[in-house]
Structure formats: C-alpha cells, structure tokens
Structure 1
C-alpha cells in the first residue's frame, strides 16, 4: 500500500464518514510495476458495514490505502496533516496543500505505470521527456488542522494538442466536507534540451485511455485560465532577495514550483497574512529556476488595502531574476478570517 496500513475499503464520495468501515474480506490488490515488492494499491470495492477504526479515542484516524476509483480513471489518497505543516493557528497553509497536490499526482502515475528513472512519474516510452506545469489554480474553502485527515482525488484529461490537464478534489476524509479544488495545465519538455516536445502518439493514446470519459472538470471552465494582468513597472511591495537552494531541486532537475509560492508570500503585508485566509492562487510558470539562481520577490495590490473591513484583497506577484527575466507570476485572493 502506498500510504496507510489498515486495509479498509475506500469511502464513497459525497457521503460524510462513509467508507471508514473495516473491510470484512481482504482487498484485491493491483501491484505497481517497478515498485518495491510490498507496494500495492487497493482496487475500488464496496465498503463493508462494520465499526469504524480509530486511534486515541477517535482523535487520529488511520488513513485508507490509496485506491483507484471510477473504473480506475481516478485515484484517491489520504494524508494526515502534520504539525510541521501548520502555522501558529494550527491550520495547514497553502504550501502544505500544494505539496499534497504534487504528491498524490505523482503517486497516481506510479500506481498506473511504475516508478520512472527520471522526472515526476514519467510514463514508459517518454524517452527523456518530462511533464512540467505551466499553470496551476488552487482554490480553498477551508484549511484542515493539525492531525486532520484529508482526502485528495485526482484525474487527468487532454487539454489541446500539446497540453494535458490534471484536477484535484480535496475533502475532509472523516466527514466528507468539501475543502477545496485545484486544476493545472502541463506540457512535456525534453529533459536534456529543456525545450517543448510533443508527447509520442502511442504514449498519448495510452495515457488518454486512463482518463475519465467524458472529461471531468473540478472547477467551472469560465473560472479557469483567466489572464493575469501585466506586472507594473514599479512594484508597491518588495520581498526578500532569494537564493535558490540545492535542497529545493525536485526530480525534474529544477526548483520545485511550491518554492515559488512560498517565496511570493513573503511580499504580502503582515496584517493581511495574519488576518486573512488565502482563498485562491492562480499561478503562471514562465521559466525554470535552478539551484544558485537569485530571485527577487515582488508584489502589488490589486485592491485598496485601506478598505480592509471585511473586504477581499487581491495581490499580483512576480518572481524575477537579476537580468529582469520573469520566472513566475501569480494572483492571490484573500478573505477575512472568521472571528472567534
């Protein structure tokens, strides 16, 4: 099993707490190629009626095994929020969620076709090609707390002639409550030349056979792929000058894109960061960044910061190299935290 050792059946979508029952019989398993001998992924099957299993008086529930759903066209995985992934309010932050998106997306690929020698879960036959994100949009209705169990379901689809799309649906694994959703656009590049390359037709056909039909969209199409404004010549907000570290490099050989998001948040005014929740981030990836690169963190308000009485706030963000080249641009939307 990829994560979790309690062999219980996956819970049903949309039913609070459904599926947390212990299985009455062993699950049929699907072995991941190129994975360790003990690594298996549970195949979807109905939950058996039995008493739920939990630890410490019901405070910490055991995650379900990772599982394929909907005739093996989507993949779900559960994660417990760890203390080092939370802020002072004991809630997970946006970078925690972004890291989970990457993890479950990569695990989906590994569960389908095994672990590749390079890149993030590249398919057999890609021959030095890797998937890289060009855009990610993440929208959160609520953030989980330390110790909470979250469930992410993910699936992919075709997105034009050269691009692909991956979506995520995020819920509370115990109650079934909706937490958020994300969508993303990916292209393939040659790992050696770092130039855009077309996915071979044979690989693309196999890949599409594993996608939902008809395609599913986790966010309304009209709310996605909205053009970000040009960044102004004079940024109103300036963050630190960041030096990309070797420890920030991911399996694709460049700085992990979650680092961009964490750097950008350093330009957000302290009052907004403390009193508001980051509800949505829309990110465009412009260029790669590598270990040793220096990046300037810039921000600019899109709303009137003086009008902070219960109003949402928006910011435009940019990461630039010393030569002026733009690495990343994003728009964030913040809403006031609920008063206790």
Structure 2
C-alpha cells in the first residue's frame, strides 16, 4: 500500500532534525507499489529516504522521497554451519542484529547499534569495530525503475569497498533496494581486534554473542550522542585512505598517528584523530559543533540549519587539510 504525503516537514525524518520540507514523500511496502508508482512515469527528481540517518538536507527537496515500510525478517535457507536470512529494506538495522544474536547467529554483532534501515546497509557498506556489512551480505534485491523488474545482485557484483558500493555510483538513481539476504554463521567467529572491544567483552565474561553485542553498544553509547538528544548522523566523515608512502611520512612527523591496512597496499588514517589534532574536537559555532567525545560526529544543538552544519564540515575539512595535507571526505549524503 502506498501512502502519500505532500509538502511534508522532514525534521522528524532526518537524524540531524533540520527543518526542511519535501514536495512529496511516498511510503511503499511492496514491489507492486513501486511498479504502480514508476509506471505512471518516473519523477524528474527522486531519492530514497529510509531512516534518514545518513543524510543532511541543506534545502527543501523539490522532488519525491521514497520510504520503504516493509519490515519482515525470514530464514530462507539453512545448512549445518550457516543460515541465509532475508530482511526487507524497512527493517531497523539494529533490530536485525538483535534478532540474529537472539538466535545465536554470528556475523553482524560488531555492527550493533548502528542507526538506519537494512536497505541502506549495502549502499554505504556500513561498518564498525573491524566489520563491514559486505562480510555478511549474500545478495541484494533491487527494483529497477526503468524496467519495473526486480533483480537480485550477488555480493560479488556489488563493488563493495570502504563505505562504497555500486549503489552509490553506477546504480544510483536507477534502483530501489527492497531486501537484503545475509549469510550468518552458526559457528562462533568473534572479531575482537578493534579498539577497546576485546577489553569490554572480557569484562562481561568472554566472547559470547551477547557479550560482544553488549560491549559494542556500551562503547558506542559512551562515545556517540543519542540522536533523540542531539541531532547528528553518526560519523560525518570517512577515514581517509592514502598511499603507504604518504602514511609513513605522516607517521614520521606524528608518531602517535593511528594507521590501519587498506586495500591495494594503501593505509587508512583515523579521521577522528586528525580532526582532534587539528584542534576541532569540541569546537562549537552557534547551534552546531564537533562532538566533544567523538570528533567524527557533527551535532545540531538545536535549531541549526543544514547549511550551518555543512559550513562547519567545510571548516573541519580545511583545518585537517592545513595541518596534515590530507583530504577527509563526507560520509553523509548532502542534499
């Protein structure tokens, strides 16, 4: 069933809580809904707005926003060691993680408490604490807006990378993700090599699924602001990936610089560390600021516009560029 909203206030539909409006918002449940919508003729401007957790509206949206509402989770195949789980796009991501942990299924526990919907997970290839969505994704179901057909794209064809996928590039504006199938393991496979996760897990009694999930949630809550209290989109910036020679030069100048291996022999830098060293952690300008516990997070203290948030983001980027000669890109989708 389609539900239509016109000239709708978006402040309750984006985690920054900026007060912009959309000309039209369409909630849909099935591919039949999408077929009926697009066969009438695709609007000149449209995009998907799921949980609104990775988007910054800097102006009113004069097109159509599509919001998935279907939210079922089903086991679609079982093997002795693994289970294939299909989750519809409207499922809250953390509800899926909790569902898996309750059933002793491993693979996405490190991604606990990440805000947003399942349909957004492959687009951004969400990740945290050494894990990424691509590690568990088996396939992605998508509605093709040109043909009104539904296709299934295997993991190998999703072009996953660090906060990257084919859905941000070649398929952007051409498909709507309707469901994702995950391959989860019945066998324990704890990944505790990132940050404080091992210590927090051991403090809870060891590497069980529930202990790992509780540890991740505790760490996230200690560092990241609640969107219900402070408007934010989680990490606003991506960790920059640079050539190994650049990383080594920076490490020579800044011995405490955290470095992580990346694809093709490159190195990933910690954007939060760079921002803090550039003097921007805790920086505030009016209604917007850089969070004082996590420098990757920009916050709306109340009443900020998207333009003000974006202006602060540019100031943070310039501060890092001036000190380190490194570009940090926004992870958040700016409209």
Structure number with greater CO (CA < 8 Å, separation at least 6) is: 2
TM more than 0.5: no
Q: What is the TM-score when the length of structure 2 is the normalising length?
A: 0.29
Q: Which has the higher helix share?
A: 2
